[in-house]
Structure 1
Amino acid sequence: MSQGNILRLRDGDELVCRVQTDLGLETPYTLCAPVVPHTAWGSPVPRLHIPILVNETPCYILMSQMVAIPTAQLGAPVADASAWRDEMIAAVDLLVSGF
């Protein structure tokens, strides 16, 4: 599992994007952001809701909704958002620092 992997949760159909970097060690929780179809979310917030295609479906990575999920609940990768790493880091900076 790598930063930017989009994963399906083992107990449902929900998707998450792994935000946490590879630390070289297993952790019981992994920092992730929900990935939802555009149709399931209202107006996106620029710089916090990152638009992405997942298997040809327009989605948002909801960086404003990040959560630590038990690592055991993360399934196999279904897509890759690593090309949006800079946008994810900028969203974390915005949330934490305000710029």
Structure 2
Amino acid sequence: MARFWVYRLKSEDQLVVDLQSDFLQDLPSRVVAPLHPIEQVSWTIAPLTPRFVIGDRTYVLATHRLSALPLSALGPAIADLSPRADEITAATDFLFQGF
């Protein structure tokens, strides 16, 4: 598992972004936030819910809905968002610090 990579969950057609430090890769779980297709999102707050194009669809990162999942719940990696790490980190900072 790698931080800022997008994974498809094994149990459902849901994408998540791994937010957990790679330093903690030996833990049996990962902290993730879901990605929702933009057309399914009724509201966004720019610093909290950044947008990403994956394949041919635009997704919103629901940072405020983060959770810990067991490694066994994560399916294949489908995209690398690490080039946008600063934006994702800013979203988690906004969630926890308000700025």
TM-score (norm 2): 0.92
After the TM superposition, which residues 5-44 of structure 1 pair with which residues of structure 2 at under 5 Å, given as runs? 5-23=5-23, 25-44=25-44
Structure 1 runs (4+) deviating above 6 angstroms are none
The match for 2:94 is: 94
Secondary structure, in 3 states, of the residue corresponding to 1:77? strand
For each residue in 1:14-64, what CA deviation from the matched residue of structure 2 results, as whole angstroms up to 9, or x when unmatched?
Answer: 110001120154212101010110011112111111100111101111111
The match for 2:67 is: 67
What is the aligned length? 99
TM-score (norm 1): 0.92
Within 2, Cα distance between the matches of 1:25 and 1:12?
24
Within 2, Cα distance between the matches of 1:86 and 1:35?
17
Secondary structure, in 3 states, of the residue corresponding to 1:59? strand
Structure 2 gap segments, 5+ residues each: none
Within 2, Cα distance between the matches of 1:25 and 1:57?
29
For each residue in 1:65-90, what CA deviation from the matched residue of structure 2 results, as whole angstroms up to 9, or x when unmatched?
Answer: 11111111001101111112111111
The match for 1:46 is: 46
AA aligned to 1:43 is W
Within 2, Cα distance between the matches of 1:26 and 1:73?
16
Deviation of residue 92 (structure 1)?
1.4
- Percent identical among aligned pairs is 28
Within 2, Cα distance between the matches of 1:60 and 1:95?
15
